[in-house]
Amino acid sequence: MVFSEPVFMFLFLPVSLLVYYAVPFRFKNAVLFFTGLLFYSWGEPVYVLIMVLSTLIDYLAGRTMDRFDSNNRIRKIALVISVIMNLSLLGVFKYSGFLIDSVNSLFNLSLYNPDLPLPIGISFFTFQSMSYTIDLYRRKITVQKSFIKFAAFVTMFPQIVAGPIVLYDDIAKELEERKINFEAVSNGISIFICGLCKKVLIANSVGELWTSVKDSDYSSLPAATAWLGIIAFTLQIYFDFSGYSDMAVGLGKMLGFNFPKNFDYPYNSKTVSDFWRRWHMTLGGWFKNYVYFPLGGSRNGKVKTIRNLLIVWFLTGMWHGASWNFIIWGVYYGILLILEKFVFASVIKRLPTVITRIYTLLAVVFGWIIFEIYSPALMLSFIGSMFGTSGILYDSFTLNAIHNYSLTLIIAAITSSGLPLRIWKKISSGRKSDGLCIAGEAIGMAASIAYLVDASYNPFLYFNF
């Protein structure tokens, strides 16, 4: 029997948690491993073997490094095999088709493109697993001798397909011993429901508007409609990804783990640099620790710092997808960060905060255009429509969109700033508010379930990466 997404999730989560709580502690990691395989194989019944292969390679590389601890040559060979095998999996399944198409187009060839389906979340679990062998080689962590515990780390179902990227060191102690108590489970449920509401009630709602606009003819797109559409996507991708991250963090707490924070109200940022300290924080940390710092970071002068930033952001763009728009998106941010660091730093410091926030939001909005519209020609056409090249300011679709989505967009914009949470903390400070919280969570959960049961539009954007 093939379950629809909501039905599968509503069955999988409670059953998995009940089994996990019921078994003795010595079996809990095994439950995590097998439920992770089940969760992943629901979406990828064949490619689950790719994830198991990646896990096995890195486990064996780790055991080899431990076995030959005093032989640095063998340790380095084990690391190189781990890195090459993981990057090869990414290269074959994520980038081979793109490279073949690019070569065919550039040299007018007709090389065969197998057009392999992309395993869900391959960029997440390969980076996560590969970080273990790198940290082990650096002697930052100790080897995990139990395959089940290591596999539980890689395949843990809350964050396996869309992050946050959890490093082994983040949860090494909890794999060995963790406490599961009422407070942690209650806190985890609250975080999970918050993430579910963000994803289902906000991201899905504004996403429907963007989908309608994205499918339009950009050459005749009214300016107001173009702005409404890209604002909707700006909010959709935040609430979609941060909502899933919250659900993963919440589920982690229910299982006894503390996953790292992945978002910190990025649309409040004062600069683009600040934005990338707040957006997808675990990915930024991964590239900083495993690419930027090993290249020398900012320690070897301006020229090499610029080189390192461009390499990191080229790779960041490539990580998100095998398409020229992602490469352009990465380079776009690399250039912006270089300009902020070396050209406009003193100017930005003198500007009022409101001006720098507007500049940052506009930079991010235009970044999302590059990110979401695959064709460079269509990107330019869409940007042109934003500035009136179609000669139309608005039409009946614009008015209908304002009528149908303005309240949702306003609520989403205010919520993305964190203002409701700050107000709630101020109002509830020193008061008994557990009843109100429980009531609010119950309403949010019920509304989300009702939406999922009834709606056909429910994309998870970052499953594609």
Q: Cβ atoms within 10 A of the Cβ of 173, count?
A: 10
Structure tokens at 340: 């902020």
Residue 86 CA neighbour count, 13 Å, CB half: 26
Residue 4 — φ and ψ, nearest 5°? -70, 165
**SS3 sequence of the chain:** CCCCHHHHHHHHHHHHHHHHHHCCHHHHHHHHHHHHHHHHHHHCCCCHHHHHHHHHHHHHHHHHHHHCCCCHHHHHHHHHHHHHHHHHHHHHHHHHHHHHHHHHHHHCCCCCCCCCCCCCCHHHHHHHHHHHHHHHHCCCCCCCCCHHHHHHHHHCHHHCCCCCCCCHHHHHHHHHCCCCCHHHHHHHHHHHHHHHHHHHHHHHHHHHHHHHHHCCCHHHCCHHHHHHHHHHHHHHHHHHHHHHHHHHHHHHHHHCCCCCCCCCCHHHCCCHHHHHHHCCHHHHHHHHHHHHHHHCCCCCCHHHHHHHHHHHHHHHHHHHCCCHHHHHHHHHHHHHHHHHHHCCHHHHHHCCHHHHHHHHHHHHHHHHHHHHCCCHHHHHHHHHHHCCCCCCCCCHHHHHHHHHHHHHHHHHHHHHCCHHHHHHHHHHCCCCCHHHHHHHHHHHHHHHHHHHHHCCCCCCHHHHC
From the list 236, 195, 188, the residue with the least C-alpha distance to 213 is: 236
Give yes or no: 280 in active site.
no
> What does the alpha-carbon distance between residue 151 and residue 193 come to, in Å, rounded to a whole number?
27
Q: Provide, for the chain, the percentages of residues in helix, strand and coil under a 3-state DSSP scheme, each rounded to the nearest 5.
A: 75, 0, 25
Which of 320, 379, 386, 415 is flagged as catalytic?
320
Residues annotated as catalytic (active site), given as ranges? 320
